[in-house]
Amino acid sequence: MRALLLAASCCALLALLATAVHADAGEAARAEARERFDRGLARYAEGDFGGALAELERAHALLPNEVVLFNIGLVYAALKRPVEAVDTLDRVLAAPNALAADRIAHARRVRDEQAQRIAALSITSNVPAIIEIDGVQVGKTPLSQPLRIASGAHHVALLASGYIPARREVVLPAGVAPPIVIELLPTDKQLAHVAIESPVPGAEVWVDGERVGRTPLPATLAVAPGTRAFELRRAGYATARRELTLSEGASATLRIALAEDPAAPLGVLGRLAVVASERDVSVTVDGRARGLYRTSLLLPAGPHRVRVERAGFEPADRDVEVRAGESTELRATLTPTAETRNAHVASVQAQRTWGVIAAASGAALVIGGAAVGIWAQSSLPELERKLEAAEQSYTRGSGTECDPRTDLFENDMEAVCVARIDDAAASLDDRALLRTIGFVGLGAGVAAATVGVVLLATNDDEDKYEPAEPAHAIAVTPWLAPGLTGASVRVAF
């Protein structure tokens, strides 16, 4: 019986522990989801749409929520990825749950706008082949239904074992696009694969005079074996050319760095202004260190990968599009390391402590010095009168006991009368010194109090680097993006 009771107690204890662990895990997930959501909104506000998407998707994975999903749809729209935007907003509209009516209407409006930016493309080939759009595999021929991709310029490639890769540049209108028919030519050679790496994004990649995509390429390039010529071209940069001899089935990695063209016309250049949350930051653009940031940078127009760094903070990586002939602003909020955060809090607390000490000590000196000085000043006239009276009594004709012409004076009164004068003078001097000390203390107190007030007034925020308080209700914050007017929605988790 005792064994049964012990076993039952152990099971109950284990159940309680499991419940507590599950509750802790759930709260930790909610806390991380809140932090990710807030960070995603901050990244969006800084123009880092890719970073915002990563944070919001992580928040939704931790704690699925229709409000977060709604924001993800808006980010896809800002990234000019209409297919993902439509699919995401369709999920929101299918199950809006607690989403406000105006947000539902907004989701439907953005969804319809993005749907008008999608092209339906049919591709056929003489043999089954893998279809790549802009270097990303999207399907295989024969297609069961047209591909949905963003309208505009694209690079289409068809790859099949035993056939020479076929590539084609297309410009697709929204809606149903003209079908593409591609014939692949057979080859008895096994294809080689080349990975192209470059720190400069947005550069056109050419192979043997044929454009095959833009950096960064999401996958390797399948090319016929032999000597192949690879080029990277981008306005504002000097063209970089490399030749590579490839054997059948070979794999290679080609790293190509582009150098900015000093003779590039101003029409293909723009300025990048970095606005960081911290001072004295270092900036790296496309892998090239630019040193301590002091003024805007003149860069080739187009996409760039920017890293903003400062010792004691996590580096901030941002993708930015520099506009030709204009100044583009990049905002970066640096996240401090734990050591920096702790040092900041300690510094703020120390300055506040010294400020309070200086202000309180100064106030005490002001009160004490003023009291002493005023009291000493008020008592000086009486002491001056006593000194004057002692001096007058020690003059001939005064008629007092200290009159040198009286009989009493001859009985050792001279020493007494002189002592009276000396005592009165000493009392007056001491009181005058006390007045000086009081007023000096008053001045020192004013100075100390001023220092204390300045220390308190100029002290930094102790919670400067602490995460923002979680939202306790839904709040709407306007979002603005090219071709898109929207709003982000904060929600309590």
Alpha-carbon distance 384 to 421, whole Å?
11
Going from the C-alpha of 262 to that of each of 66, 235, 299, the distances in angstroms are 50, 12, 11
Question: Angle 67-69-70 (CA atoms, 0-180°, nearest 5)?
Answer: 65
pLDDT tens column, 256-274: 999 999 999 999 999 999 9
The model scores a pTM over 0.75: no
Contact indicator for 172, 155 with CB cutoff of 8 Å: no
Residue 319 CA, chain-centre distance (Å), reads 13
Please give the pLDDT value at position 149.
92
Across the range 273-300, mean pLDDT stands at 94
Alpha-carbon distance 371 to 369, whole Å?
5
Please give the pLDDT value at position 217.
87
The DSSP symbol for 268 reads: G
Collect all residues with Cβ–Cβ distance below 8 Å to 286 and sequence separation of at least 6. 199, 200, 201, 258, 304, 305
Across the range 472-491, mean pLDDT stands at 43
pLDDT tens column, 379-392: 889 888 887 887 77
Going from the C-alpha of 224 to that of each of 131, 137, 141, 227, the distances in angstroms are 17, 19, 21, 9
Alpha-carbon distance 222 to 192, whole Å?
6
Quick check: 398 pLDDT over 80? no
Which residue did the predictor score with more confidence, 35 or 230? 230
Please give the pLDDT value at position 219.
83
Across the range 208-236, mean pLDDT stands at 90
pLDDT tens column, 172-205: 999 999 999 999 988 888 889 999 999 999 999 9
What is the pLDDT confidence band of residue 477, given thresholds at 50, 70 and 90? very low
What is the pLDDT confidence band of residue 280, given thresholds at 50, 70 and 90? very high
Please give the pLDDT value at position 408.
52
Across the range 148-166, mean pLDDT stands at 89
Collect all residues with Cβ–Cβ distance below 8 Å to 423 and sequence separation of at least 6. 390
Name the residue among 237, 231, 187 with its Cα closest to residue 206: 231
Which residue did the predictor score with more confidence, 463 or 147? 147
The DSSP symbol for 62 reads: H
Quick check: 482 pLDDT over 50? no
Quick check: 75 pLDDT over 60? yes
User: What does the block give as tokens for 23?
Assistant: 């509750």
Highest mean pLDDT among 25-34, 310-319, 380-389: 310-319
Across the range 50-58, mean pLDDT stands at 90
Instruction: Report the SS3 class of residue 490.
Output: strand
Alpha-carbon distance 203 to 433, whole Å?
83
User: What does the block give as tokens for 362?
Assistant: 């100064």
Across the range 423-452, mean pLDDT stands at 88
Alpha-carbon distance 489 to 73, whole Å?
12
Quick check: 493 pLDDT over 60? no
Alpha-carbon distance 446 to 362, whole Å?
6
Quickly count helices (H) and strands (E) in the chain: 7, 27
DSSP letter string over 114-150?
HHTTEEEE-EEESS--EEEETTEEEEESSPSS-EEEE
Half-sphere exposure of 362 (CA within 13 A, CB side): 19
| Per-position b or e across 287-299, b if 16+ CB within 10 A of its CB | eeebeebeeebeb
Half-sphere exposure of 182 (CA within 13 A, CB side): 28
Instruction: Report the SS3 class of residue 388.
Output: helix
Quick check: 488 pLDDT over 50? no
Contact indicator for 110, 85 with CB cutoff of 8 Å: yes
Contact indicator for 158, 241 with CB cutoff of 8 Å: no
Across the range 35-51, mean pLDDT stands at 86
pLDDT tens column, 80-124: 999 999 999 999 999 888 888 899 999 999 999 999 999 999 999
Please give the pLDDT value at position 231.
95
Rg (alpha carbons) of the chain, rounded to whole number: 41
What is the pLDDT confidence band of residue 4, given thresholds at 50, 70 and 90? very low
Share of the chain above pLDDT 70, in %: 87
Quick check: 127 pLDDT over 70? yes
Please give the pLDDT value at position 21.
43
Which residue did the predictor score with more confidence, 139 or 493? 139
Going from the C-alpha of 466 to that of each of 30, 204, 463, the distances in angstroms are 17, 43, 5
Contact indicator for 401, 389 with CB cutoff of 8 Å: no
